[in-house]
Structure formats: structure tokens, C-alpha cells
A and B are shown apart, each in its own frame.
Chain A
Amino acid sequence: MSQAEQTETVDEDGVIESVSGPVVTATDLDARMNDVVYVGDEGLMGEVIEIEGNLTTIQVYEETSGVGPGEPVENTGEPLSVDLGPGMLDSIYDGVQRPLDVLEDKMGTAFLDRGVDAPGIDLEKEWEFEPEVAEGDVVEPGDIVGVVPETVTIEHKVMVPPDYEGGEVTSVESGEFSVEETIVELDNGEEIQMHQEWPVREARPAGDKETPTEPLVTGQRVQDGLFPLAKGGTAAIPGPFGSGKTVTQQQLAKWSDADIVVYIGCGERGNEMTEVIEDFPELPDPQTGNPLMARTCLIANTSNMPVAARESCIYTGITIAEYYRDMGYDVALMADSTSRWAEAMREISSRLEEMPGEEGYPAYLAASLSEFYERAGKFQLINGDEGSISVVGAVSPPGGDFSEPVTQNTLRIVKTFWALDADLAERRHFPSIDWNESYSLYKDQLDPWWEDNIAGDWSDVRQWAVDVLDEEDELQEIVQLVGKDALPEDQQLTLEIARYLREAWLQQNALHDVDTYCEPEKTYRMLTAIKTFNDEAFEALEAGVPVDEIQNVDAAPRLNRMGTAEEWNEFIDEIEDDLKEQLRALY
């Protein structure tokens, strides 16, 4: 945090009045709402959340054991802000943007000590700045004045901060600079550095929102194929524990075709975050082949890290996402899990003794959730370009019950719903996205993209798959009562086709080198192969072939190997030919 670097004298110090867990009250503190303060002799970071007369309530982002009344509270006079500039990618932060690797160095231990602060970006490191404006040019807020190669993948664009007035450029530098050195000066005296700050609870300004028309290609068949998300869209993944939320989120972070990925581990497991930290630098980005970390910013506030920092990590993440959006990038933000964030709000709210709403959550839960998701979207930027933020929030409903407040309030906002199902997970059907319950409201606006880029009959083929799965669902109810053999032959065949749709197409092995990513062309092709089987099989049935014989053709089980086939085009062609040949040979 940059507050540590602030040297200007601050308002008068306050004195701690009481301490209860992460909530501290202080007297005589001259502070505004949401100001960042340093609490106690150790200087623990906190934020003002309530002011009542002379009494100020502070939520502290660090453990408060041993802190007592009488200790000082120092105000920085600044709201909770993030440091924005080159160096955020390939980084891992805690919930208030302290880099965890720097903290390890500074603390000299593997455990998180208290009262240690570090700026979000390296203030000393020099970056190669290449200007894109010349003296005499007129620039406005949001305009790009030059670029910095931030990572092998991403060119960082240095912008006129949105709260500047803009004007004529009077001097431009070029070459190696640290983020705090002035690189462009304007005629009104404004100086532009690579480093900006922005308060996390305030959305960065942007122009109008547009209707998203391009899909966020995830490389996951059930998501791309049945329930697509748009670039600039919002999605929720609710599911009980063990249903694969985190793996689904990680798959999206790994394979989706966004330019930038911001991954927030909010109140989740330490080992899981470590897995991401260890895996991502080694994995290639599917678009560029460069290391995945070169486009990724990680925020890790594990479940045992202080609860107040968990509350803020979502805001830290979305502000960083907005900054890259302002450069014109398509950003994808994964928040795992928004329920932990809501619980952090609940915990702090109950310590403040606020009147609780539903299930103890604060009455402003719905407002906070919608405020967060509304920061997603495809935007017309203030500099005239376009950029987008797609938000995918995991939800962890207690007991897997989707009627609880966080799930319900989230569903009122998001347009894509990937419902994870414990039953599917138990039988190791992954991703365990329940095709009967999930939906995507982006389907229609994304169809033209699929039809232009993948196949003209895309929406028909998809609808066929949906119909078969629907029919299976109805038939299963009958099968439960009378058994499969009691059904007429055509319905038995439908069940068989549906089984291939589930096992060969919807199921996808995240751990298999080939199957983990499925390009849209392959998603389409695999589906048409099953449809070929369907069409040929029904023709055979009509010609009088018994359903048993149709089911037992040699080529059919090979449909299950399509996902893992490397040379899938040849492989699928061959299956289709064999299927046709073998089925036609039966009549």
C-alpha cells in the first residue's frame, strides 16, 4: 500500500477505546469515512467504517491480539487505495494489495507477521517507457501517452489519470524510468507518472456500457457449448462443497481467451492458492504460448487471514481489473468465493451490532453484490476505445441450498448460471455443471459469433443436444419406475444417445493434457459426431434393426475417446465413417 510512503503530516492521532476482534473503536480521531488508519503501537492497518460523535469504529486488516485501549491510532487521511502501474501482473497479493513475496522477505518467516507494509508495485524498478505522444499534442483523461512492456504477453499502457484535467503536452521523456518519475508534463502543470492510485470502493470512470456480442471462449465444452459467457458478462458458479467450484474457476483462469486474468482467492484454502502459484508460471497461455502468469494477477486472502482484508479483497481485485480494462483489454475476473466475502461482511456487521437482515447477513448485502457485479461489462472507454471485464463469481451456499441469500441475490444480477451438482460430482462427472438447472441469457446474442466463426448450423445443433438431454430427463423418471427395457425402442435409443452426450461431450477431464482444453471447433465437431450417430442409428431403427444391435456397434464406444484424441479431426472423421458403415451393414 502506498499509504506507507505518505510522508505529509497527518491529522491528529486518536486513542483506542475498545478492542473486540477485528473491530476497534477510537476516540479523538479526526477521520473521514473509509480513511485508512494505522492502529496501535504496531501500526496495524485498518479502515474507518463508522463515525458516531467522537467515537470512530475501525475494521482492522490484521490480527488484533494484545492490542489494548490507550494505544494510538494514526490517520493517513486517504481512503483504501490500490497502487496501479506496471508490475501488477505476475504478482500475488493479499486482500489489501500487499505483495506476498515481498512480505515473506520483509518478515523473514513463512508466517504472516503483523504491522508490515509494502507498496503494491515495486517503486524502484525501472521500466522501458516508449512515448506515443509528442510535445504539442493535446491529451485528455484516459488517453494513452505511451507503453511499457510489462510482461512478455502484455504491453502496459500508461494513461492520463481519469481525475486529471488534461491539456497540451509540454515535455515527454523516453527510456528507463521508475514508476514514480514524471514522464509526461502538461501545460496546466499536471505531471504524469506510470504510477496511479485509485480508491478501491469507487469504480473507475468509463463511458457507456455496450451489449456484449463476443463469447469468452473458455475451452470447456459444457460452458462454451450450452451455457456461454460473453466478454463483459457476469456468471455465478454456485455449488456445495466438493462439487468442483475451484477446479471450474481455475480452468476458466487457465484457458479462457481473456487478455488479462485477475484471480481472487477470497477466504479459500491456503494449499489451493499455493497450487495456483506453483502451476500458473509453468502453464502456457493457450493464446500466446507464454507463461500463464504473464497475463495473471493473483489475490490470495485465505480463510485464516484476517477477515477485514477478506472483505476488501474483492474491491482490490475489481479495481485492478478496471485499470487494465481502461487500457482497452478484455479482462476476466474470477472471485472464489463471493460467499466468503458476504460472510466477512456479516461478521463485521454483527460486531458493529447492526440490525441483521436475512440469515444474519447485513441488510445491504444485495446492494453490495449488485454494486460489485455492475462493475463488469463491455465499456466504451473515456478515451474512445473499448474494453471489457467479465466477472465469474463462485458461490458456496451452506448445505448446497440455493435458496440462501447470497445465491439468490447473486442470481438476480448475473446472466449466466452454472449450477454445480453434488450428485454429478459424486459419480465423478466433471465439470459437474447441471445441464437441467443452468442457463445463459447470452446465448442468443452470441449465436451470430458462433455462426460466423465456427459453423452456420451451430444454433440448430445445440438445440438438438438440449432437446435430447431434456427428453432424457423426462424418460429417466419413467425408467426409475419400470426399468429401461420396458420403454419403446426409439426411447431406449434416445437414452443411449443422451448417454453419449453426457459422457463423451459434457464430461471433460481437466487433468488430461489434451482434454483439458477444447477449442470451439472441436466442441462443435464432437457434437456433430454424436448427432451423426443419432441420425444413422434412427435410420437403422426405422429399417427394423433391433436397438440392442445398434447399441452394440463397435465404433460407438469410441465416441467416448473423442475428447482425449489429439488429432481429433481425423479421429472423428474415422469414427463417423465407421459408424455409418457398421450401422448400414445391419440392414
Chain B
Amino acid sequence: MKEYQTITEISGPLVFAEVDEPVGYDEIVEIETPQGETLRGQVLESSEGIVSIQVFEGTGGIDRNASVRFLGETMKMPVTEDLLGRVLDGSGNPIDGGPEIVPDDRHDIVGEAINPYSREYPEEFIQTGVSAIDGMNTLVRGQKLPIFSGSGLPHNELALQIARQATVPEEEDGEDDDGSEFAVIFGAMGITAEEANEFMDDFERTGALERSVVFMNLADDPAVERQVTPRLVLTTAEYLAFEKDYHVLVILTDMTNYCEALREIGAAREEVPGRRGYPGYMYTDLAQLYERAGRIEGRDGSVTQIPILTMPGDDDTHPIPDLTGYITEGQIMMDRNLNSQGIEPPVNVLPSLSRLMDDGIGEGLTREDHGDVSDQMYAAYAEGEDLRDLVNIVGREALSERDNKFLDFADRFEKEFVQQGYDTNRSIDETLEIGWDLLSMLPKDALNRIDEDLIEEHYREDEAGEEAEAVSAD
């Protein structure tokens, strides 16, 4: 290992150094400042004689006399089952005061792509206990389903609720109760200390920490480190899932901060920027994170991802949510309006979507009527929403009886189906029964998305009586 004192330029998070032997692209670098502090970085570009290095902890304290060591390998994550229950910083060092981590193996953090031929198509229903997700945007094992949120919205509460409640129902009935639990790997990127405490308190309160690994890069930690944190998280997740047979739920928050870091580095490297200054390769970069979810044929474990991002200005056409939406398998959309009405969780189901839903629901998986009920509620809620605009102009009296029923449906859908609170855990049966209670408000012939036999079976002829029952079931 050769040591150089040849730094020629320091600019933002980048350091340029002259070398007299070849250095590999992506290799890890250690920089020792004259004060004796050791910083880590990664080779961004390697040419004959000169390399550019991106320093994770920021370049503060580095001067031209600092020494640069090339470690001759790409960045690795030490992995072991003992990571469960531990809290690490954004670079993977323990910060919980616990014992040192003795790794079983060290894995390259730039994961290789899963061969699409070796994947197994995800179709195992995960019951999150949240009606807006289970009923309308079902999550399955191995899916990547982000939460699109905005500043000030309770996305953390929803993520925590999912982490607490997520189970795969069939296994719950069996004796192997632990088998259906998820190992939760939590990657924080640039969140505030307060938010971090909120997560940690909840993990500790519910005892979830035992089956969790926490990576913390806080808002005042170096931005460049955010580049590494999600890769450490996902490397750990892949290890636990595909080598140790865990079902892993990965929560990444906040992807917006990750993308900001990406932009910062791109700007420091004087790259040609793409939309809104984000680098042109952001799609590829994000895909390399999000695509590390899934199932592999012949392995028992799975990686399910719930990345959280806050949309700047609640704008879902902003490059961060936009590119994310093109890669992930749907999105859960939080809504400011619903939030101010006190709906918990304030999920707007209309722009939400789960692409893997259709194969994860139905007879044998959830319930035979699930698909039809969900489609019908989408259509009816959308119609009700449209009518609300109209009511503002012409008033309710000007609408037909049929239209009024749709309006009522939309109201009750929000107040009874979506609204449930962060501590209510609804089974899929309960969710669908509430669905039928609501759909039975509408005339039978308006239920054009539902199979006629299913209408016969589930439609509440005596709506008033059912309503009372629904309330007691809540």
C-alpha cells in the first residue's frame, strides 16, 4: 500500500492527487490530515498520473500536506447476523456503544445486478394492517414501494406503522411465529436528530430494535456520506435475505437528501447537469439502489424496500419523484389536504399505485373479491372526487340522486376506509368488509367492475344494519 503526499487540488468534496502507479476506479482511499484525523473517500476517476477522490466525510481539515493511501480494494461492508440490534453511523461504524462487530464476510457495497432470469416474481401478500395500502395498493414481498410525501406530512409515522405491523398472514397461523416477522433495516440519510429520535424511540418501545439494523446519517453529517449509506444498508439487506434467509424490510429515508448529495458531487465535478441541475445519470444511480429488492429463485429470504422521499413543493413531476416512480413498482402518495382534515394516514389512493398488486391478491392469496372491490372503489372514489368540484359551483341540490350517492361514498371512503389511526392494525378481511359496507351505499347496477356473483355474495341489502356492524368492528 503506497502513501502519497501529492494532493494538487481540493474542491468541495473532491480531492485530486498525483500518483505514480495505477489506481482502480471506485477504490477506497484513506486521507490522513496533518491533525491526525483519518478521512475516507472513493476514486471517482482514475487516469494515468492523477486521480480524483470523493471524500465521504467532507474535505474540511485537508491540506496539500495530507497523506493519501489507496487501499487497493473497492468499498466493502462487513456483514454478520450480529448486526441485528445494532445502530451504526452512515459509514457503517457502530455508534451504540456496543461491542465491536466481528464480520462473517465482507461484501462489495456496489451490488451486482440480479440476473432477471434468476429472479422469482414477487407475489406473496404482505399485510401491513393499513387499509389504504392492503386494500387498494397491496404490497408484496420483494417489492419496492416508495412513499411520496411532502415536508410536514406524517410519512415517518406511516413507515413506522408498516414496520411494526407488516406480516405475511399465512405464516402467522402456523406455529413458526417468528418466521413471518421482518428484519427491518433502517437507513437514515440527512434526517434531523429529532426525527431520528422518533424512530429510535419507537424501535425501542416496541422491541423492534432486536430485529433491526439502523444506519444513521443525520442532517449535520457529511452530505457525501449519504452516497454510501444506502449501499451499506442494501448490502446488509442482501446478505441477511439471500444468505441468511431473512425477510428483510428496508426503509430508506429521505431519498431527497440522497439526490441532493448526488447533485452536490456532480456540481463539484463540473459535470454537464441534467434537469434542475441533477446529474444525467441519476436514473441509473437510483436504479442501482431500488433494483436491489426482490426475490431470488431457490432462496428463502427476500428484500422489500420502502424508500421515503419528500417531494419539493409537493410536485410529483420534480426529477426525484419522477425518476423514482419510473423505477419503483408503484408509489404511496401522501396528501396535504387529507392531512389537514385529520385523516390518518393521509394517503390519497388515486395517484397511489402498486404494480405488483394484481398478482399478489385474489383467491388463495387474499380474497376472491379483492381485485374487483379495489377497482370499484377506485372508480367510485374518482367519480365522487370529480363531483366535488361540481358541487362547489352548482350545489348539491342540482345533482342527481345517483351523483349524491357517489359524493357520500367519497366522504365515507376517506373517513372510514382510509382513516384508521397509526395504532390500528386491520386484517385484510376487516379492510374488505369495510369496503363492502361502503360500496353497498351505491346502487347495484353502478357496481360495474365487480363480478355479478360476488355482488350477490357480499352486497349488503340492508345497508343501515351493516353500517352499525361496521362501526362496532372498527
A residues with CB within 8 A of B: 16-21, 25, 63-71, 92, 100-101, 103-104, 107, 110-114, 240-242, 265, 267, 269-275, 277-278, 300, 302-305, 307, 340, 343, 346-347, 350, 353, 356, 359-360, 396, 398-401, 422, 425-429, 479-486, 503, 511, 557, 560-561
Contacts and interface: CB of A to CB of B under 8 A. Distances in A.
Given A485-B400, A557-B448, A353 B272 contact: yes
Contacts of A64: 25-26
B23 A20 contact: no
B116 A399 contact: no
Interface stretch (B163-171, B193-201, B283-291, B423-431): B283-291
A399 B321 CA distance: 9
A485 B398 contact: yes
Interface string B10-42: 000000000001111111000000000000000
Nearest to B327: A303
11 contacts: A64-B25, A71-B22, A100-B116, A107-B115, A110-B296, A112-B112, A241-B322, A241-B325, A242-B330, A302-B113, A304-B284
Given A360-B273, A426-B350, A66 B74 contact: yes
A474 to B, nearest CB: 17
Interface stretch (B204-212, B246-254, B376-384, B462-470): B376-384
B42 to A, nearest CB: 10
Contact of A359 (B24, B120, B275, B296): B275
Contact of A426 (B117, B371, B382): B382
A65 B26 contact: yes
B299 interface: yes
Contacts of A69: 22-23, 46-48
B326 A396 contact: yes
B48 A480 contact: no
B172 interface: no
B113 A18 contact: no
A101 B45 CA distance: 34
Contacts of A399: 316-318, 322
A85 B285 CA distance: 36
Interface string B287-321: 11011101011110000000000000000111100
B61 interface: no
A428 B448 CA distance: 12
Contacts of A267: 283, 287
B375 interface: yes
A68 B110 contact: no
Contact of B114 (A68, A270, A346): A270
B315 to A, nearest CB: 8
B234 to A, nearest CB: 11
Interface string B116-150: 11111110000000000000000000110000000
Contact of A398 (B111, B115, B271, B275): B275
Interface size class of B (residues with CB under 8 A): 35 or more
B103 interface: no
Nearest to B381: A427
A304 B288 contact: yes
B24 A66 contact: yes
Nearest to A339: B326
Nearest to B109: A65
B280 A343 contact: yes
B245 interface: no
Interface of B: 21-27, 44-48, 73-74, 108, 110-122, 142-143, 242, 271-275, 280-281, 283-284, 287-288, 290-292, 294, 296-299, 316-319, 322-323, 325-327, 329-331, 350-351, 353, 355-356, 358-359, 371, 375, 378-379, 382-383, 389-390, 393-394, 398-400, 403, 445, 448-449, 452
A271 B356 contact: yes
Contacts of A25: 47
Which of B117, B356, B394, B403 gathers most chain A CB within 10 Å?
Answer: B117
A166 to B, nearest CB: 39
Given A274-B121, A360-B280, A511-B358, A19 B46 contact: yes
Contact of A112 (B114, B271, B316): B114
B24 A100 contact: no
A70 B23 CA distance: 9
Nearest to A274: B119
A19 B45 contact: yes
A270 B113 contact: yes
A271 B272 contact: no
A271 B275 contact: no
Contacts of A277: 116-117
B26 A66 contact: yes
B184 to A, nearest CB: 21
Contacts of A107: 115
A519 B329 CA distance: 31
B27 A17 contact: no
Given A18-B47, A110-B299, A346-B274, A428 B115 contact: no
Given A18-B47, A503-B448, A110 B351 contact: no
A492 to B, nearest CB: 10
Given A112-B115, A242-B331, A274-B116, A18 B398 contact: no
B115 A104 contact: yes
B25 A66 contact: yes
A17 B47 contact: yes
Contact of A303 (B117, B143, B284, B448): B284
B8 to A, nearest CB: 16
B397 to A, nearest CB: 10
B329 A269 contact: yes
A68 B22 contact: yes
Given A350-B271, A350-B280, A271 B294 contact: yes
Contacts of B113: 111-112, 270, 302, 304-305
Nearest to A424: B382
Given A68-B22, A511-B371, A270 B119 contact: yes
Q: What 5 pairs between A and B have smallest CB-CB spacing? A: A399-B317, A303-B287, A18-B47, A427-B382, A110-B118
A110 B297 contact: yes
A67 B43 CA distance: 11
A485 B398 CA distance: 7
A546 B259 CA distance: 60
A480 B389 contact: yes
A550 to B, nearest CB: 14
Given A66-B25, A113-B112, A271-B294, A92 B44 contact: no
B51 to A, nearest CB: 9
A527 B448 CA distance: 18
Contacts of A113: 112
Given A111-B111, A360-B273, 11 more contacts: A65-B24, A70-B21, A100-B117, A114-B112, A271-B142, A346-B280, A347-B280, A359-B275, A480-B393, A511-B358, A557-B445
Nearest to A25: B47
A428 B390 CA distance: 21
B379 A427 contact: yes
A68 B50 CA distance: 11
A426 B351 contact: yes
B31 to A, nearest CB: 19
B239 to A, nearest CB: 12
A561 B448 CA distance: 8
Contacts of B379: 427-429
A21 B280 CA distance: 13
A100 B116 CA distance: 8
Contacts of B359: 275
A303 B111 CA distance: 13
B382 A304 contact: no
B46 to A, nearest CB: 5
Contact of B319 (A275, A303, A398): A398
Nearest to A400: B317
Contacts of B323: 398
A533 B44 CA distance: 68
A17 B48 contact: yes
A271 B329 CA distance: 9
Nearest to B296: A110
Given A271-B142, A304-B291, A483-B399, A110 B25 contact: no
